[in-house]
């Protein structure tokens, strides 16, 4: 084993997730999922909020969950900024594809009508 | 006599000036991240195609009508309960995976071993649930290229033009089985990889190596599978 990877291991050691932190993140993920269920099973069927309001809320909550999984479980928050950027910046292409195809599907609606 | 160092000869110590890894991660871990990024593109293209088709449709099978059974218990009337259970199992198995990584940092072989076993059990349970879900939908008549008859389809839609039900139900079936199937295949590979790593833990490979870094690498893959499910869950079952 090279001295470099030993050093890598040592540096990560100090910033690792403690059990308390792990359980806290688990609580957040579970809490967000429970909120999604309350919206889907009670708030929308009972007519408290319309469906087209619920959908953006689901997406925002999902992105929150994604952030917690990537940042804490996958440890990206504690990695060097260079690595984090290498992973996160290319995701912009995905956002681009979402925007392009959302626009395109509006056009398809008109074609089908 | 002190030596004057001109600015150009000064040894630079910033992360990008050479001599050390700017990312400060081990090679295999970095490659796992880049693999996961490419895998994220694959899943995104599938999910975005699903989004575009669904966005351009005038009606779509309503999730709370299609997914309302708990296989083996209830045939209907329990929307999202079963998939909620599946989501809970997968998040839980992600937690046991982080706990295995945490135990690895402390070089606690026994703890790593048991958390890995718990993660594998979680993975198999999820796969079992998905098999039940698939077979339930298959019995209703959904499959790649096949849909239930018109009479049954009417119970799965909330409004919209009845003449288009067939087209959209077929798109739903193809996308559902392709995307959850691709995800399920990832879960399955993850379970196999976890089993191999657990055997290595049992044999003491990482104890001898002096580091449980390998657990972190398979952990990254496992969390990614959980991450994808979070999106599949939202876009197939909630929206």
Cβ-count burial B97-114 (b if 16+ within 10 Å, e if not): bbbbbbbbbeebbeebeb
Q: What are phi and psi of B70, to 5 degrees?
A: -110, 105
Return the residue of B nearest to A7 by Cα.
B24
Say how many domains are in chain B: 1
Contact call for A41 and B234, based on CB within 8 A? no
**C-beta of residue A46 within 8 angstroms of C-beta of residue B192:** no
Range of the domain at B120: 24-238
- For residue B18, is it within any domain? no
Could you give the percent of chain A with pLDDT greater than 70? 85
Which residues, listed in sequence order, are joined to residue B146 by a DSSP beta bridge? B143
Instruction: Between B31 and A9, name the one with better pLDDT.
Output: B31
**C-beta of residue B236 within 8 angstroms of C-beta of residue A62:** no
* pLDDT band, residue A15 (cuts 50/70/90): low
**C-beta of residue B80 within 8 angstroms of C-beta of residue B237:** yes
- For residue B9, is it within any domain? no
Per-residue confidence (pLDDT) for residue B12, from 0 to 100: 74
- For residue B198, is it within any domain? yes
Give residue-wise pLDDT tens across range B97-137: 999 999 999 999 999 999 999 999 999 999 999 999 999 99
Residue A11 has pLDDT above 70, yes or no: no
- For residue B88, is it within any domain? yes
Rounded to whole angstroms, how far apart are CA atoms B37 and A87? 6
Return the residue matching tokens 């909620």: B84
**C-beta of residue B126 within 8 angstroms of C-beta of residue B90:** yes
Q: What is the mean pLDDT of residues A46-63?
A: 89
Q: What is the mean pLDDT of residues A6-31?
A: 74
- For residue B48, is it within any domain? yes
- Predicted TM-score of the model (pTM): 0.89
CA-based max dimension of chain A: 66
* pLDDT band, residue A34 (cuts 50/70/90): very high
Per-residue confidence (pLDDT) for residue B2, from 0 to 100: 65
Instruction: Kindly write down the DSSP assignment for every residue of A20-88, as one continuous string.
Output: HHHHHHHHHHHHHHHHHHHIIIIITTTTSS-HHHHHHHHHHHHHHHHHHIIIIIS-GGGS-HHHHHHHH
Q: What is the mean pLDDT of residues A95-102?
A: 92
Radius of gyration of chain B (CA): 24
From chain A, the residues in CB contact with B21 under 8 A are: 4, 8
A residues 33-92 near B, CB within 8 Å? Answer: 33, 36-37, 39-41, 45, 54-55, 58-59, 61-62, 65-66, 69-70, 72-75, 79-80, 82-83, 86-87, 90-91
Question: Mean pLDDT in chain B?
Answer: 91
CB neighbours of residue A83 within 10 Å: 19
CATH of the domain at B30: 1.20.120.80
Give residue-wise pLDDT tens across range B7-20: 777 777 777 887 77
Residue B28 has pLDDT above 90, yes or no: yes
CB neighbours of residue B213 within 10 Å: 21
- For residue B4, is it within any domain? no
The helix/strand/coil state of B47 is helix
Radius of gyration of chain A (CA): 20
Q: What is the mean pLDDT of residues B177-182?
A: 97
Give the long-range contacts of residues B14-21, CB within 8 A, separation 24 or more.
B15/A80, B15/A82, B16/A82, B20/A4, B21/A4, B21/A8
* pLDDT band, residue B22 (cuts 50/70/90): confident
Contact call for A58 and B88, based on CB within 8 A? no
Query: Dihedral through CA B198, CA B202, CA B207, CA B208, nearest 10?
Result: -110
Contact call for B51 and A105, based on CB within 8 A? yes
- For residue B131, is it within any domain? yes
- For residue B231, is it within any domain? yes
**C-beta of residue A25 within 8 angstroms of C-beta of residue A73:** yes
Could you give the percent of chain B with pLDDT greater than 70? 99
* pLDDT band, residue A3 (cuts 50/70/90): very low
ipTM above 0.90 for this complex: no
Residue B159 has pLDDT above 90, yes or no: no
From chain B, the residues in CB contact with A65 under 8 A are: 230
From chain A, the residues in CB contact with B25 under 8 A are: 8, 79-80, 83
């Amino acid at each position: 084993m090279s001295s470099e990877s030993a050093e890598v291991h040592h540096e990560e050691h100090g910033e690792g997730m403690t059990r308390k932190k792990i359980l806290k993140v688990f609580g957040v993920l579970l809490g967000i999922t429970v909120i999604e269920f309350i919206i889907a099973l009670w708030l929308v069927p009972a007519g408290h909020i319309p469906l087209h309001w619920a959908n953006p809320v689901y997406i925002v909550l999902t992105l929150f969950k994604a952030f917690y999984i990537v940042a804490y479980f996958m440890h990206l928050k504690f990695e060097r900024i260079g690595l984090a950027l290498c992973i996160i910046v290319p995701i912009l292409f995905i956002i681009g594809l979402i925007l392009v195809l959302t626009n395109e599907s509006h056009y398809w609606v008109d074609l089908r009508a | 006599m002190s030596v004057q160092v001109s600015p150009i000869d000064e040894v630079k110590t910033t992360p990008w000036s050479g001599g050390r890894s700017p990312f400060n991660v081990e090679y295999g871990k970095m490659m796992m991240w880049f693999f996961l990024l490419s895998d994220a593109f694959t899943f995104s293209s599938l999910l975005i195609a699903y989004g575009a088709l669904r966005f351009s449709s005038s009606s779509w099978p309503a999730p709370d009508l299609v997914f309302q059974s708990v296989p083996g218990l209830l045939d209907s009337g329990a929307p999202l309960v079963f998939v909620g259970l599946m989501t809970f199992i997968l998040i839980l198995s992600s937690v046991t995976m982080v706990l295995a990584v945490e135990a690895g940092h402390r070089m606690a072989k026994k703890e790593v071993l048991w958390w890995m076993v718990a993660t594998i059990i979680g993975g198999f349970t999820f796969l079992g649930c998905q098999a039940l879900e698939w077979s339930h939908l298959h019995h209703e008549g959904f499959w790649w290229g096949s849909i239930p008859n018109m009479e049954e389809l009417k119970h799965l839609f909330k409004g919209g033009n009845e003449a288009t039900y067939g087209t959209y139900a077929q798109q739903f079936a193809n996308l559902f089985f392709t995307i959850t199937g691709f995800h399920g295949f990832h879960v399955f590979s993850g379970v196999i990889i976890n089993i191999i790593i657990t055997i290595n833990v049992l044999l003491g490979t990482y104890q001898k190596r002096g580091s449980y870094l390998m657990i972190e690498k398979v952990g990254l893959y496992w969390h990614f599978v959980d991450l994808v499910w979070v999106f599949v869950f939202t876009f197939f079952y909630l929206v």
